[in-house]
Amino acid sequence: MRRLWIILLASLTLTLSGCGYNTMQSQDEQINASWSEVLNQYQRRADLVPNLVSTVKGYAAHEREVLEQVTTARAQVGNLRLTPELLNDPQAFERFQTAQSQLSSALSRLLVVSENYPQLKADTGFRDLQAQLEGTENRIAVARNRYIQSVQAYNTTVRSFPTNLTAKMFGFSTKPNFTVDEKAVSTPPKVDFGSAPKPPGVAQ
């Protein structure tokens, strides 16, 4: 009897391995690891925002609208509930992506505004923050790319025959992925490298 159970267990193990179960488990773990790195890099960026806004405000306090946009976008990112279920909820994932995209746009506008303030651009603290932000954006791009590749591999396994049968049997389903904001890609940013704004009362 014991030998029979061992044979059945061995057969079940071979069956699960051959039908893609172990592959999906491995790919799912890779997605979780890639996602953790995405969150880590986005958090690194969010942590830079308060100091960046404070530094810009020191030289361009009257750029209130842009500063408020960055602060609001950062707050929206902070209000997101980043639970493990997020990776299985397309709507929640889209809200996450939208919030991060809005923060990216707000930060881009803030950096464009800084071009009008030579003293701000010359500030050592600002240059350091700008360099950190640029480095973080690069890390975000790399982390997102790894996540995209992990999800593509997993989703292909889940949707392909015969592994799709195993996926249905054990509740594996496709996961949402990052998409490109077509409007952001097709609309170039408006950059003004003109002279710094003159104080009120000074002739134009």
Q: Tell me, yes or no, whether 200 lies in a domain.
A: no
pLDDT digits (tens, 9 = 90+) for 150-173: 999 999 999 999 899 999 999 999
pLDDT digits (tens, 9 = 90+) for 109-150: 999 999 999 999 999 999 999 999 999 999 999 999 999 999
> How many independent structural domains does the chain possess?
1
CATH number, domain with residue 140: 1.20.1440.20
In terms of residue numbers, what domain contains 52? 26-186
Q: Which residue has the tokens 């602060």?
A: 71
- Helices 21-59, 64-78: axis angle to 10 degrees equals 150
Q: Tell me, yes or no, whether 2 lies in a domain.
A: no
The total of other beta-carbon atoms located within 10 Å of residue 8's CB is 10
Confidence bin at 199 (pLDDT 50/70/90): very low
Q: Tell me, yes or no, whether 78 lies in a domain.
A: yes
The total of other beta-carbon atoms located within 10 Å of residue 84's CB is 8
| Predicted local confidence at residue 130, as pLDDT | 95
Please compute, for residue 114, the number of CA atoms within 13 A of its CA located in the half-sphere on the CB side.
22
Q: Tell me, yes or no, whether 198 lies in a domain.
A: no
**171 torsion bin: left (phi>0), alpha (psi -120 to 50), beta (else):** left
Q: Tell me, yes or no, whether 70 lies in a domain.
A: yes
Q: How far apart are CA 135 and CA 161, in angstroms?
A: 41
Q: Tell me, yes or no, whether 161 lies in a domain.
A: yes
Backbone angles phi, psi at 83, to 5 degrees: -90, 160
Say what the pTM is.
0.79
